[in-house]
Each structure stands twice: as structure tokens, then as C-alpha cells.
Structure 1
Amino acid sequence: MPGPVLARRGFLSATAGLAAALTLAACGGGTETTPTATGSAAPQSWTFTDDRGKQLDQPRRPSRIVAQVGAAAALWDFGVRPIAVFGPHQLKDGTKDPQVGNVDITKVEGLGNVWDEFNVEKYISLQPDLLVSSMYIKGTLWYAPEKSKDTIEQVAPTAGIMLTGRSATQVIGRYEELAKSLGADMRGVPEAKARMEAATKELARFKDLKILMMSGGPDAMWVVNPPEYPDVVHLMDAGLDVVKPSKVDEGGFFQTLSWENADTYDADVILYDTRTQSLKPEEMMKKPTFAKLPAVEAGQLYPWNAEAPYSYQGYAAFLEGLVANLEKASKLP
């Protein structure tokens, strides 16, 4: 969910110098090339057209892959093993951030853990073959700092997968295509796809519940605008009735409300953003208007994994958890 992050921090427009990048690249420092996901050492040409319409053609299939944590989590579930990640992957206590999914963070390099943090020198030293990231805005790689864009593009090809304006199923399909092109083994994928489909069908049972999806900050709450989020589009396609704000902020991702106006929309169930930058339930409960909402008083406040990995495994787990919570909810007077 990009809205609150973009609104609070924004993208920086400065660009990094390429001279230092090229000097570091010339010095080498990378480790030996890792095998592809299939373990094949035979050279194989590679082509893939990303969602910027950019056709990537390489004489060898990329094996040294760096990925934004969401992209890394998706690729990992398909059998591709990135060598490094950037974006939220480690919590303050040293455990892994839920956004990184099943990625083993002890086996990947970390290039940055927060917004606008990307260790360009370490990236160059890894001698990557490919960088992969999702995109909420076409042409803007999520969590790749604008100030380092030129350097990042110079070091290795980049692939962007679009999220906005698609359903989760479509996004997962694109990551599946990319993973297959990279030689993924697809182990466990058919079983996970069946689980996801089964959980999706279950959602239709809760079509009578009005659901509000939101994220909380110190001074405001953000109500999501469903069409902009693949996971919310998927939930609505499956039959859920999700609140659509009557007015959205510039960019279209959400509506900002003061906590005093937390009661703007009626809802039987509230799903809250569980990411590290969002307020926890106990923090939101300190906001009087929020605490008095019927859904909150009824105990129908449930977690929403706002950036579940775009893989069948990731969505099977997300949807199964959601079904289990909605089974506990009821229509409010």
C-alpha cells in the first residue's frame, strides 16, 4: 500500500553519480556466480518483457538477482533465490519482517531496510545480473530510491511488475511468468494454487458484511481506495463488500481522515494494515473516535497483510487467515 508512505516521505529527485558506480564495478568484488533456480550451469539466453513494456534480452539467463522484498517473496515461493533484497525485511529485534515472506534473510544480503535506503556500493559489489521490483506507479520501482535510479539502471537490467489496476491473480501470474523465465522449479506451486482457489471461493459466504480496510498513523487514518490494490480487487471479485471512499486524495490510493472523523464510514468489520510503519491496534484504540466504532467495540477488528507475497503460497495463507477471522464476525445492527 503506497499511499501513506508516499504521502509522508515522498520520492527524492536527486540522482547518484555514475562515475563512482562504474569505478566500483570495474574493481569487481562480487562473489562467484550462483546457479540458476534449476541448478543448470549451461549458458542460456534470456528474454522478458516487463510491465513498463521494456524488453530485456540477455545472452545468459540471470542468476544473480536482487529484488525488492515483495518481489523477492514472490520469486522465492516460485523457486527463485535472490542474492540480495531491499525494503523492509528485518525487524528491530532481528527477526524477519512479514513483508519478506518465506525468504531466508540469513541467506541474502540486505541493501536497505527502510524507505529511501539503498546501499548502492554494496549493490555494485554484488555484480547483479538483474534487479526486480513491483510498481505502484508505472516506471517507478518500489523502494528503489529516485536519487539512485541512474546508478541502479547502469549496473544491471531492471524488471518492473505493475500492481495498480490489476487483481492479485493477474499480478501472481506475472511473477509466475518471470520466475519460469528465470528457471524456477515451481515446487509446491500446484498445491498452493489449489489452496488459494479454495479459500477464494469461501469468501463469498461473507458478502453481507461491510468491510473497511485502513491503515493508521499518528495523526491520521487512511481508508484504502479498492481499485488501486490487487489484493482488495481480488477480495471484491470474490464477493466481499469493501468500503470505497467517496473522496480520495491526489494519487487515488486512499482517503486521509483525521482520527476525529474515523466514523465517516459504517462497517461491520475493519481490516487494519499490519506493516511496521502502521499503528498497532492498541495504539489506534487510544483514539477515542476509533475505539467507539461499532466494529471495534464488537471485537471485529482483524489484521490485513497489506503486502502479502504475490505467490500462490502467499495468498493461500493470507486468504485462509482472512476466512478464519470473518467466520467469527457478524452483521452489526
Structure 2
Amino acid sequence: MLWNSLTALALAAPSHALIRFGCSQLVVDRLDPLVNPGLNPSPHLHQIIGGNSFNMSMEPGSHDLAALSTCTTCQPSEDFSNYWTAALYFRAKNGTFKRVPQKGNVGFEGSQGGMTVYYMQNQLADYQQKSKVKAFQPGFRMLIGDPMANTKAQADRYPQLTYTCLQDMSTRFPETKNFPTKPCPAGIMVNLRFPTCWDGKNLDSPDHISHMSYPASGTFESQGPCPASHPERMPQLMYEVIFETKDFNNKNDWPADGSQPFVWSFGDGTGYGSHGDYVFGWKDQSLQKIMDEACYVNCKSMKTQSMSAMNSCAVKNRVNEDIGDNNWLKELPGQPTMRLKAADGTV
């Protein structure tokens, strides 16, 4: 398996930390406290992990997630952050929808859905992790991606939002910007890598993106320098979300025209609108202590909890509606008059 190979190779002592951990599902609900704070319900459905203080508001400066949460669905017991993406649906030939569930990644097969989270100081395959980064601060929040994007050119503004069609659980390449066009035997993995350069001042910005930047030249992987406007180097936050497509891989159930049948909960059938949200919530200085440790995945300063504890943390849905887990829906939640964006970007 790919991950076993990576950990086996990580024998040379790193200078700083890289961590990878699993998180179970906290809730699947039509709330978005970052883009639509206080709005119940928000326009489209999300799947959320992390601390159980997640709610519809979470106003900046007034929400200490570590203090207000009593549990977290993530493996690190001091991480009460919230991480979320849109939910994914399968659209049948007759136009009805069913939600595609998530499954645990390699090493976290016992988790109840959720995702895998990384904090990196260098690229994943760099076992030395020599770069020094400043951990995110209390009150920090950001998002990446644009749900309105429906062309590759628009999606390319965010170069590290991709899909992997899993042939098995070790598949990691190739990555595409659009939804896979063929059935994926082990599922569709959605990869979200956030920008790593911070302006050093603002914990948020009106669009939740502008206080962060990509390197001025090169990439995070090539250790490209941060621009002068965003000089502070932060960890690269990365999500891997594996959607279990086994019940939807029969090509006879796919559209007669041969197009792919998956659609985001906001109506995007291209895949170009992929996006993710993050609200920081690590307790005290726990994340900085981990980042300063010379470790690779297995970090002594990262306190962890059992899988059963992760799975037992949950919050109740605030929006009372059928989200298509057991029934086929005639329309996507919150999208009654929406026109689906097709694979070619048209509507």
C-alpha cells in the first residue's frame, strides 16, 4: 500500500512535523457558518467533521472552539477545528438523486465516513520536513475553491483542488480537475490543498481567501517563496475525502449519453466547483508544538483518542429534511429550481 511505503521510508530524522489523521463524520447538514453565518438553512448541503461546537453562526472572535466543544470526531484529541466540504450525489437516469456516502482512508477504515486531514511543512513525500512554519492562530478561518466555477480555466485559479479515480485504496495518480468520467472501483477521492502564505495580520477576510496566497513563484511542493504581501509561511492543510461509489458504478445506470452521473450538492456536474472550508480550533498551542517536533506522522506531542471515541462524537441536524441517504430525491436539498451544470460546463 502507498501509505505503508511512505511511512516505511520515513526513517531519516525530520526537522519538523508532518501529521496525517482521520476524522469521522460529525454531521451532514445544510449549514455553512463561514459563508452564510446564521442562515438556517444554507443554500446547499455540507459534510462536516471536527469539534461538536459546530453551529450555524460561529461568528469571528466570539467562538473558541476548543473551549466550547466537549468532543471531536478527529483522531487528535486536542483538535476541535471544523473542516467541511459539499456533499456528493449520484443522479440516476430518471433524474432522481441519492447521496454518495464517505468511507475511511487507509489506516482509518473503522471511521464513520469523514475524511483524512494533513498538516505539512513540506510536500508529503519529503520525509525531512525541514521548513519552519507558523501554526494557524485562534480565530483563523479560510476556504478554498469556487462553487460557481464551471470551466477548467475558472477551476485553475485553485491549482490544488483535484480528483483521483481510485482503482484500489493505494491509487494516487493521475489527478484531474473534473469528475472522473469512468467508474472508479474503490471510490472517488477528492483532494483539497489550501494556500500556505498568510498576510500575517488578518485571521479572516471578506471572501475568506484574500488573507491567504499561493507562493509568488513555483509551488508549495517546490518550496516557492511567499509573496511580500503574504510573507508568513503556514502549514499546508490538505483534505482527502473518499466517496464510496460501489453502489453507483454500474454503467447501465449512468446517463445514456455517456456523461458521468455525479453532482455536487450545489448542482455542479463538472467537478470544477469543488471547495472546502476550515475554522481553526486546536487547543492552546498544541498544533504549534506538534509542528515544531521532529516527527513524521507519529508525533509524541499529538495526543490521540480511540476510533470509538471519534465515532461517538456527533451533533444533531439543525435542518429537518430528507438528504437522500435512504430515499431517492426528486431534487437536491435547497436546490428546487436549479439547472444542473453539465460536464461540458453548460447548463
Q: TM over 0.5, yes or no? A: no
Band of TM-score, shorter chain? under 0.3
**Greater share of residues in strand:** 2
Q: Tell which structure's C-alpha radius of gyration is larger.
A: 1
Give the TM-score normalised by the residue count of structure 1: 0.24
| Higher helix fraction (1 or 2) | 1
More relative contact order in 1 or in 2 (CA 8 Å, sep 6+)? 2
